[in-house]
Amino acid sequence: MAASRQTTMRSWRWRRNPLRRRSDVIEAWVVLAGWILALMSGLIAGLGAANAVERAADRQRAERRTVSAVLAEDAEDKVPARAMSDQRVWASVHWTAPDGSMRTDEARVPPATPAGTRVNVWIDRSGNPTAKPPTSGEEQLHTAFGGLLAAAGTGGVVLGFTWGARLGLDRWRMAQWAAEWERIDTQWGRRTG
């Protein structure tokens, strides 16, 4: 019994009754359209963002490669690159770029590595050092979170506009009620408020 009563209360704007106003019907359609648009636009934005993140990761994997470099200095007295998660340190290395030129720059290497040791360094197409491309697990995580954030953000913006439209409809409804009360007060010949 309680479930049918609650369903009746939720759908009262859709049924014909003498208390239903035009603003109630408009509000019902605005809310329905807002939810449909929020779901559809969120889905489209989420899929688009996930696809963009996936394409960026594929492009990074295609553009980056590893080369063998020689450590130009001892890496034992250096500060770790990232104190919390990565124990590698920054040290000067030199390698041969794809165009045949000799390059020297800093890269992250294992600590306490003596000069002259060969280490692997990730470079981009132009031969500049770069970060390692994301693994497939990292790519999946970034894709999922990117799609989820884009979907939630887009859906939230649409629902925000829907909420603003409902506020406008509430103001319109209150103005209608005030006008009707004013009309009734003048018919009775006295003021009630």
pLDDT at 41: 97
Instruction: For residues 125 and 140, state if they share a domain.
Output: no
**Quick check: 159 and 34 in contact, CB under 8 A?**
yes
How would you classify residue 128: left for phi > 0, otherwise alpha for psi between -120 and 50, otherwise beta?
A: beta
Instruction: For residues 85 and 177, state if they share a domain.
Output: no
Is there a domain that residue 189 lies in? no
Rg (CA), the chain: 32
Instruction: For residues 115 and 147, state if they share a domain.
Output: no
The rounded average pLDDT for each run of 10 residues, N- to C-terminus, in the chain (193 residues) is 53 66 84 95 96 93 89 71 65 84 85 85 84 90 95 96 93 87 73 57
Return the ∠ at Cα 134 (arms to 128 and 140), rounded to 5°: 155
Is there a domain that residue 190 lies in? no
Backbone angles phi, psi at 49, to 5 degrees: -65, -45
Instruction: For residues 139 and 178, state if they share a domain.
Output: yes
pLDDT at 140: 93
pLDDT at 1: 47
pLDDT at 162: 95
- For residue 178, how many C-alpha atoms fall within 13 Å in the half-sphere facing its CB? 6
pLDDT at 23: 79
Is there a domain that residue 192 lies in? no
Instruction: For residues 124 and 139, state if they share a domain.
Output: no
DSSP 8-state symbol, 112? T
Q: Please name which of 166, 142, 146 lies closest in space to residue 154, comparing C-alpha atoms.
A: 146
Is there a domain that residue 80 lies in? yes
Instruction: For residues 85 and 31, state if they share a domain.
Output: no
Domain that holds residue 168: 26-62+133-184
Residues 165, 32: Cα–Cα separation, whole Å: 12
DSSP 8-state symbol, 129? B
Q: Please name which of 23, 37, 49 lies closest in space to residue 160, comparing C-alpha atoms.
A: 37
